[in-house]
Chain A
């Protein structure tokens, strides 16, 4: 898996440095689908930022008399089982989905980068130790690792995000380690080392900037997965807790209504997740050259 991602990642360094100069090059590289994805992500970010301004109702307050309203003039997308406005809840839901996934991706990238650089720089026993640690984490299925972390730290958006970051670190670290290792063998790094520059300086000044494109691509690809997995944890009742508006939680809460013949909440929230994830995965693909096969 890591080898596949690597070959998928490689063209980035070449194309991005060549095309960075012109904005038109970026548009061409994204393609129509990519541009659509960027627009969708932009709208999502706007929805999340402006939710308090544009949401017609308070997402947490509803009235029992207004439960299960069909879409109409008062409630554009209708109401849920507690009479809360669905459009408002979806808008606010963009906040938890985006910030949660961003936290997962940032933490996983940071943890993975540090582990990869430490392993690369010290090599030998430290490298072997890091390798063993990663092997151990790989022995746990992703979701199980996240569930166990939640079991220890409790439920909530922050805890779920940290849990997923822990589950993502081994993949990030393994990919970045091999990239950093290749970079370290290059002559300029060895020259810097011979000049007597400290390991900290060489790693920070030379290795880190040169593996940055791979870090970014990995983060972009992970973003979509992080959204899915966070929503799944919320769906399981282990992530975001009611009454906070969250797409995963809304799919789960809407399940009872769905059985009673009101599928609106589940379907709308699920559609939001699908569209957002698809947009992020298209961007990740375009950034990283070809498609990425898995969470690696």
Chain B
């Protein structure tokens, strides 16, 4: 287990290194030079332009600049925002808590509602099953951003139960402000997870070991818990993992819709303003978090099912 984790961390570090190069090169290749952004359409003398280039190190060759950036990032220095002159690292630090709260809240909703709905539908069947199936089909087709607008329209504007914008203050305020965004973010994933969980439970319910256990007189509750649900959790872990990992980037849409000050909305704003220092930093952070979440899921997989041999599969 430990060897597996160490090897995967090594692979993740290598991936991050290559990703950082790709991200930096992509921003370098993007049209619109940073110095023209810095002077903001004003006409400046060539001397001023040259001094700006020296000040920001724009006159150095690409690889040298990449090296400076990379070594800076490794020591926690992500550079300076071109738009606001703010330190990117502290900008990130101020934005991350909102995104973290939002994605954790959404992940919780996915696990609780998605898995529970799927298990209940699969075990009980009948009208409840039909309801879950129908609900998941509808939830599946609703894009996150429309779910956000829809929830906002119903619960914030019409009913006034929840605030429309902002992240709120204090723990209860934060929870209240994040509820609608988290539901919007989690909704499509809940639909998928419920659907897959239901299928897994139904398939497991029809296996021979379940029939045998029931025939031997093992109570249904015990069979359901020990044999059906536990075995069905393997595909469920995978699908929950995929969906939770996708929240990392998907949060951007919801943050934009609810004007939450997370790193996702920071990324969108930075792309629109061509503030590439910020884009690079956020992209790298998102790739890193995405990698770590995926690693955690793989480890969880082995914890849930001891039969899974982690050493066997190399990343």
User: Do the beta carbons of B140 and A235 come within 8 Å of each other?
Assistant: no
| B92 → chain A closest CB, angstroms | 15
In the complex, which residues of chain B have a beta carbon less than 8 angstroms from the beta carbon of A150? 271
In the complex, which residues of chain B have a beta carbon less than 8 angstroms from the beta carbon of A238? 268, 271-272
User: Do the beta carbons of A140 and B143 come within 8 Å of each other?
Assistant: no
Question: Of A4, A135, A237, A251, which is within 8 A of B268 by CB?
Answer: A237
In the complex, which residues of chain B have a beta carbon less than 8 angstroms from the beta carbon of A232? 143-145, 253
User: Do the beta carbons of B157 and A141 come within 8 Å of each other?
Assistant: no
Query: How far, in whole Å, are A275 and B142 apart by their CA atoms in the complex?
Result: 9
User: Do the beta carbons of B287 and A140 come within 8 Å of each other?
Assistant: yes
Known A144-B249, A151-B271, A232-B253; contact A277-B19, beta-carbon cutoff 8 A: no
Known A248-B145, A266-B149; contact A291-B30, beta-carbon cutoff 8 A: no
Q: What's the count of A-B pairs with C-beta under 8 Å?
A: 140
Query: How far, in whole Å, are A261 and B253 apart by their CA atoms in the complex?
Result: 23
User: Do the beta carbons of A152 and B29 come within 8 Å of each other?
Assistant: yes
In the complex, which residues of chain B have a beta carbon less than 8 angstroms from the beta carbon of A228? 143
Range of interface residues on B (Cβ < 8 Å): 35 or more
Mask of B274-303 contacts with A, CB within 8 angstroms, 1/0: 101001000100110011000000000000
| A295 → chain B closest CB, angstroms | 9
The secondary-structure label for the interface of chain B is helix
Mask of B59-95 contacts with A, CB within 8 angstroms, 1/0: 0000000000000000000000000000000000000
Query: How far, in whole Å, are A140 and B285 apart by their CA atoms in the complex?
Result: 11
In the complex, which residues of chain B have a beta carbon less than 8 angstroms from the beta carbon of A277? 141, 143
Q: Please tell me if B177 contacts chain A, counting CB pairs below 8 Å.
A: no
User: Do the beta carbons of A231 and B145 come within 8 Å of each other?
Assistant: yes
Mask of A260-296 contacts with B, CB within 8 angstroms, 1/0: 0101001100100111011001000000000101100
Q: Please tell me if A203 contacts chain B, counting CB pairs below 8 Å.
A: no
Q: Please tell me if B180 contacts chain A, counting CB pairs below 8 Å.
A: no
Known A228-B143, A255-B149; contact A143-B253, beta-carbon cutoff 8 A: yes
In the complex, which residues of chain B have a beta carbon less than 8 angstroms from the beta carbon of A191? none
In the complex, which residues of chain B have a beta carbon less than 8 angstroms from the beta carbon of A259? 152, 157, 164
User: Do the beta carbons of A235 and B256 come within 8 Å of each other?
Assistant: yes
Known A251-B149, A261-B157; contact A236-B268, beta-carbon cutoff 8 A: yes
Q: Please tell me if B229 contacts chain A, counting CB pairs below 8 Å.
A: no
Query: How far, in whole Å, are A254 and B15 apart by their CA atoms in the complex?
Result: 41
Give the residues from 12 to 47 in chain B that come closer than 8 angstroms, CB to CB, to chain A: 15, 18-19, 22-23, 26-27, 29-31
Question: Of B239, B248, B267, B274, which is within 8 A of A147 by CB?
Answer: B267
User: Do the beta carbons of A139 and B290 come within 8 Å of each other?
Assistant: yes
User: Do the beta carbons of B145 and A139 come within 8 Å of each other?
Assistant: no
Q: Please tell me if B196 contacts chain A, counting CB pairs below 8 Å.
A: yes
User: Do the beta carbons of A294 and B239 come within 8 Å of each other?
Assistant: yes
Q: Please tell me if A258 contacts chain B, counting CB pairs below 8 Å.
A: yes
| A91 → chain B closest CB, angstroms | 19
In the complex, which residues of chain B have a beta carbon less than 8 angstroms from the beta carbon of A248? 145
In the complex, which residues of chain A have a beta carbon less than 8 angstroms from the beta carbon of B164? 259
User: Do the beta carbons of B238 and A1 come within 8 Å of each other?
Assistant: yes
Smallest CB-CB separation from A140: which chain B residue?
B287
Mask of B122-153 contacts with A, CB within 8 angstroms, 1/0: 00000000000000011011111110011011
The secondary-structure label for the interface of chain A is helix
| B2 → chain A closest CB, angstroms | 23
Q: Please tell me if B245 contacts chain A, counting CB pairs below 8 Å.
A: yes
Query: How far, in whole Å, are A232 and B252 apart by their CA atoms in the complex?
Result: 10
Smallest CB-CB separation from A279: which chain B residue?
B141
Question: Of B142, B239, B245, which is within 8 A of A274 by CB?
Answer: B142
User: Do the beta carbons of A266 and B153 come within 8 Å of each other?
Assistant: yes
User: Do the beta carbons of B245 and A291 come within 8 Å of each other?
Assistant: no
Query: How far, in whole Å, are A151 and B274 apart by their CA atoms in the complex?
Result: 7
Smallest CB-CB separation from A139: which chain B residue?
B15
User: Do the beta carbons of B26 and A142 come within 8 Å of each other?
Assistant: no
User: Do the beta carbons of A139 and B143 come within 8 Å of each other?
Assistant: no
User: Do the beta carbons of A148 and B26 come within 8 Å of each other?
Assistant: yes
Q: Please tell me if A93 contacts chain B, counting CB pairs below 8 Å.
A: no
In the complex, which residues of chain B have a beta carbon less than 8 angstroms from the beta carbon of A224? 141
Q: Please tell me if A136 contacts chain B, counting CB pairs below 8 Å.
A: yes
User: Do the beta carbons of A270 and B150 come within 8 Å of each other?
Assistant: yes
Give the residues from 242 to 262 in chain A that come closer than 8 angstroms, CB to CB, to chain B: 248, 251-252, 254-255, 258-259, 261
User: Do the beta carbons of A236 and B150 come within 8 Å of each other?
Assistant: no
| A36 → chain B closest CB, angstroms | 13
Q: Please tell me if B257 contacts chain A, counting CB pairs below 8 Å.
A: yes
In the complex, which residues of chain A have a beta carbon less than 8 angstroms from the beta carbon of B143? 228, 231-232, 270, 273-274, 277
In the complex, which residues of chain B have a beta carbon less than 8 angstroms from the beta carbon of A1? 238, 242
Query: How far, in whole Å, are A275 and B140 apart by their CA atoms in the complex?
Result: 11
Q: Please tell me if B195 contacts chain A, counting CB pairs below 8 Å.
A: yes
Task: Enumerate 16 A-B pairs (CB-CB under 8 Å) in ascending A order.
Answer: A139-B19, A143-B246, A148-B26, A151-B26, A152-B27, A152-B29, A236-B256, A259-B157, A263-B157, A266-B149, A274-B142, A278-B137, A278-B138, A291-B195, A293-B195, A294-B243
Complex A-B, nearest 6 residue pairs according to Cβ-Cβ distance, in ascending order: A141-B249, A270-B146, A278-B141, A143-B249, A144-B249, A235-B145
Q: List 13 additional contacts besides A141-B290, A148-B23; criterion CB under 8 Å.
A: A136-B18, A140-B19, A140-B290, A141-B245, A141-B287, A142-B246, A144-B249, A144-B283, A144-B290, A231-B145, A231-B146, A236-B268, A267-B150
